[in-house]
Amino acid sequence: MKNSFWQSAVTYGFIIGLGLIILSLVDWRLGFYGQNFAFSLLSYVAIIGGLVWGALAYRKQTGGVISYGTLISFSLVAVVVYTLVSGLFSLLLTQVIEPSYMEKTLAILEDSLIAKGIPDHQINMIMEATKKLAGLSMLGSFFVSILMGGVISLITSAFIQRKSNFGV
């Protein structure tokens, strides 16, 4: 039996979310606290790879013919699912598993600002603003993740779509 549109999109979104959770756990255990460029890049590779894999699998389920709009819709559902899954895990990590996560992240940020030679008064302003906006950053991350996933979906869907021989 073929999976439905929704079942497939949610499944692949969940798989991508689990992959992002694994990357977050490794990042955290290595002490990078989200401040490592390689892990950020690896997260985008996982997202792109997961969306392409899911879209190709769904295209195969539909008999190999699928429209651009259907692929975008499929990918956006997967994006919302992986964003919710990874966002809920981030809340769990920062609030329950390691409540000091934010302090450690701020310490890494402060060290990097000092290493760049930024004057103390500017560092203090940056740190205060970052502390004040920390609560909003989680909500902002949700919307940025949806936006980035949407852009990735637009691009990948253009390459994965396949029209029938009749131009439909």
**Whole domain around residue 11: which residue ranges?**
5-98+144-160
* Residues 44-65, mean pLDDT to the nearest whole number: 94
Q: Is residue 119 part of a domain?
A: no
Q: How many domains does the chain have?
A: 1
Q: Is residue 131 part of a domain?
A: no
- Model confidence pLDDT, tens digit, residues 81-119: 999 999 999 989 988 998 888 888 888 888 888 999 989
Q: Is residue 45 part of a domain?
A: yes
Q: Is residue 123 part of a domain?
A: no
Does the CA dihedral 63-66-70-71 come out positive or negative?
A: positive
Q: Is residue 25 part of a domain?
A: yes
Q: Which of 8-22, 135-149, 154-168 has the lowest mean pLDDT?
A: 154-168
* Residues 20-32, mean pLDDT to the nearest whole number: 92
Q: Is residue 166 part of a domain?
A: no
Q: Is residue 73 part of a domain?
A: yes
Q: Is residue 116 part of a domain?
A: no
pLDDT band for 168, please (50, 70, 90 cuts): very low
Beta bridge partners of 162: 66
- Model confidence pLDDT, tens digit, residues 95-105: 899 888 888 88
Q: What is the 3-state secondary structure (H, E, C) of the chain?
A: CCCCHHHHHHHHHHHHHHHHHHHHHHHHHCCCCCCCHHHHHHHHHHHHHHHHHHHHHHHHHCCCCECHHHHHHHHHHHHHHHHHHHHHHHHHHHHHHCCCHHHHHHHHHHHHHHHCCCCHHHHHHHHHHHHHHHHHHHHHHHHHHHHHHHHHHHHHHHHHCECCCCCC
Q: Give the whole-angstrom CA distance, residue 163 versus residue 165.
A: 7
What is the pLDDT, as a whole number, of residue 36?
83
